[in-house]
Amino acid sequence: MSTPLLSKLQINGYQVLSVNHGPWKVCTPGDRLATFGTREEAMAFAAALPARRQRPAATGG
């Protein structure tokens, strides 16, 4: 039995991750934006995107 390996980085508010040496994915908390064969391609894509900002929670009133 083997343990899954997660490689995860964050750049400009986007998560760049790979599971078990598979393809690299660029994600937001709610969406997967793109998939790449190498970490360098994924990091370049994430660096080219506009910086993501955390939205404040909506208050009901």
Indicate whether 61 pLDDT > 60: no
Model confidence over 29-52: pLDDT tens digits?
889 999 999 999 999 999 999 998
DSSP 41: H
Q: What is the pTM of this model?
A: 0.77
Domain residue limits, the chain: 1-32
The pLDDT of residue 2: 82
- Residue 26, Cβ density class (10 Å: 0-12 exposed, 13-18 middle, ≥19 buried): buried
- The sign of the CA dihedral 7, 29, 37, 4 is positive
Model confidence over 5-27: pLDDT tens digits?
999 999 999 999 999 999 999 99
The pLDDT of residue 5: 94
